[in-house]
């Protein structure tokens, strides 16, 4: 038993708790959330079952786009009530969400107001204004984290000073939910790394950055590692719900950290794409890559479970097609859009999928069309043409970034396998395009990698699984992957794409 600033971190819990063997993953994304139930079977495999699903999203209030935390808490309580109705009286729970966004609490431990979403426009000029007083290169050298306008550091830079002055504590989204349910306030390390406020070398809050922001370190609660036993669910605090007895475990609470833990990669010749609203492309390593080249290419060194580093690139992923579908009033499913795209000729347009104009446009369809007009290219009009444009350029981007990743890290061996996990792993067209353009073997699945990483971290914490390799072996034996072999395309296409990207960045 190891005491970490008043909290207990354990590798094994008491025998009767282990024998319950019921684990719940609370996995919340920007558009939806769910509760997944898992048990480990006698043959070493695990099961996974969805118990509750609900919508999520930001809404406009008081001039900002905000998250409705009360609604999230209510939905989680409804889901836990369903768990109890299934006859499960005791369980473990882990919570993961997206990164960077935060809740500010007042002196009594209550929310000051609903947290502002990272896609809100308030940080549009934050990086530019921040850089007038603090070197971005120095920021990267200190933290190893990519410069993105929505990072916590830039959100705090533009935060209302009166609001900060009234705050007694800052909690990231999954930590706030854990606090509501247990009364224990912590900040989990993998998610905390996305704030761009932690020093990559010391693994502590960077005091120079806090001083620049005018923030005292006491605003942040205890920093803990994945696998920390947070505490018991305070059932008495929610008398209107019939809840199970539950122990909350602080897992790798940044959803990408959980997704990579849930990726069945073995050996050292693989990379990953966690494919969802964002496409996170990278490798798992144990060393940071902090160089001028990595800074220029905007790669990040986010922390992972058990002292790993996720060296990766943020790519605007399924958000593009999600928004196209939304502005077509969901006339077509994602599978139907992919089928329509397959009928269209390939590589008719080149676009920079990471252009900031695509972060949160008023209408993704008209924004894509305007981009193509401005760059004097064929304008995609039909649903199939729009989808084809998106999928072609995502595959091209993935291929180019895989090459950059190898160059930046000095990987001697060639990356031969690309694991695609998450919801986007179900897109057969994009998987095959990626294999062809990048000339790698794509292994797609599991689609539930984030929830699996959440669940497996709980099992590691309770002693049911030894470590990450054991967890990944468990995934391989429990969930099949779909394999896409490369049919290499004409290299001139990628060369033309790279030339276009170089011109557009000038």
| CB-based contacts of 408, cutoff 8 Å, min separation 6 | 289, 291, 293, 294, 297, 299, 311
- 370: buried, middle or exposed (CB in 10 Å: 19+, 13-18, 0-12)? middle
Write out the H or E segment, with its range, that includes residue 470. helix 468-478
* Contact in structure between 229 and 13 (CB atoms under 8 Å): yes
- Helix 364-374 to helix 319-326 angle, to the nearest 10 degrees? 110
**Rounded CA gap, 204 and 198, in Å?**
5
Write phi, then psi, for 404 (nearest 5 degrees).
-65, -40
Distances (CA, A) of 168 to 5, 109, 218: 19, 8, 8
Write phi, then psi, for 437 (nearest 5 degrees).
-70, -40
**Rounded CA gap, 481 and 264, in Å?**
9
* Contact in structure between 457 and 227 (CB atoms under 8 Å): yes
The SS3 of residue 400 is helix
3-22: string of b/e by CB count within 10 Å (b at 16+)? eeeebebeeebeeeeeebbb
Active site residues: 255
Tokens describing residue 434: 């990626």
Instruction: Find residue 104's DSSP bridge partners.
Output: 170
DSSP structure string for 123-181: GTTHHHHHHTTS-HHHHHHHH-----TTSHHHHHHHS-HHHHHH-SEEEEHHHHHHHHH
- Helix 428-438 to helix 334-342 angle, to the nearest 10 degrees? 50
Write phi, then psi, for 93 (nearest 5 degrees).
-135, 135
**Rounded CA gap, 251 and 75, in Å?**
20
Torsion sign over Cα 328, 334, 336, 342: positive
**Rounded CA gap, 118 and 294, in Å?**
24
Q: Checking DSSP bridges between strand 23-28 and strand 90-96, what pairing results, if any?
A: parallel
The SS3 of residue 286 is coil
Q: Where in 277-378 does DSSP place strands (E)?
A: 278-285, 300-303, 309-316
């Amino acid at each position: 038993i190891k005491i970490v600033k008043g909290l207990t971190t354990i590798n094994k819990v008491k025998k009767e708790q282990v024998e319950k063997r019921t684990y719940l993953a609370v996995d919340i994304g920007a558009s939806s959330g769910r509760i997944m139930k898992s048990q480990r079977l006698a043959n070493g495999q695990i099961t996974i079952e969805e118990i509750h699903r609900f919508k999520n999203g930001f809404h406009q209030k008081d001039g900002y786009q905000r998250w409705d935390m009360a609604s999230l808490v209510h939905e989680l309580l409804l889901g836990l009530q369903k768990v109890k109705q299934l006859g499960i009286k005791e369980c473990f729970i882990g919570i993961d969400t997206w990164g960077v966004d935060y809740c500010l609490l007042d002196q009594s431990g209550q929310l000051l107001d609903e947290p502002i979403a990272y896609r809100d426009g308030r940080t549009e000029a934050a990086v530019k204004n921040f850089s007038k007083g603090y070197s971005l290169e120095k920021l990267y050298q200190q933290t190893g984290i990519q410069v993105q306008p929505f990072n916590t550091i830039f959100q705090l830079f533009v935060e209302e000073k009166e609001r900060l002055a009234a705050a007694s504590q800052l909690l990231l989204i999954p930590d706030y939910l854990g606090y509501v349910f247990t009364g224990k306030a912590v900040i989990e390390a993998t998610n905390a790394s996305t704030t761009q406020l932690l020093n990559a070398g010391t693994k502590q809050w960077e005091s120079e950055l806090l001083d620049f922001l005018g923030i005292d370190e006491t605003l942040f609660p205890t920093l803990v590692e994945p696998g920390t036993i947070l505490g018991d669910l305070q059932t008495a605090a929610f008398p209107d719900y019939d809840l199970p007895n539950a122990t909350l475990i602080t897992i790798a609470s940044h959803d990408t950290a959980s997704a990579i833990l849930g990726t069945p990669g073995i050996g050292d010749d693989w990379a990953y794409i966690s494919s969802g609203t964002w496409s996170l492309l990278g490798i798992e390593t144990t060393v940071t890559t902090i160089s001028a080249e990595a800074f220029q290419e905007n790669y990040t060194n986010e922390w992972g479970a058990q002292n790993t580093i996720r060296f990766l690139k943020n790519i605007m992923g399924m958000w593009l097609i999600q928004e196209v579908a939304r502005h077509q009033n969901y006339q077509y499913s994602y599978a139907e859009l992919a089928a329509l795209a397959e009928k269209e000729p390939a590589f008719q347009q080149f676009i920079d999928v990471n252009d900031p104009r695509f972060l949160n446009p008023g209408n993704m369809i008209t924004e894509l069309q305007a981009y193509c007009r401005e760059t004097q290219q064929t304008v995609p009009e039909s649903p199939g043409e729009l989808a084809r444009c998106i999928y072609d350029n995502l595959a091209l981007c993935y291929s180019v970034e895989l090459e950059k990743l190898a160059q930046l890290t000095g990987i001697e061996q060639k990356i031969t396998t690309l694991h695609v996990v998450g919801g986007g792993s179900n897109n057969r067209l994009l998987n095959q395009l990626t294999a062809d353009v990048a000339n790698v073997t794509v292994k797609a699945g599991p689609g539930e990698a984030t929830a699996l990483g959440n669940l497996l971290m709980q099992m590691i914490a309770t002693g049911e699984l030894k470590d990450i390799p054991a967890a990944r072996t468990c995934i391989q034996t429990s969930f099949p992957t779909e394999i896409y072999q490369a049919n290499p395309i004409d290299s001139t296409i990628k060369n033309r794409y790279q030339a276009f990207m170089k011109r557009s960045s000038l």
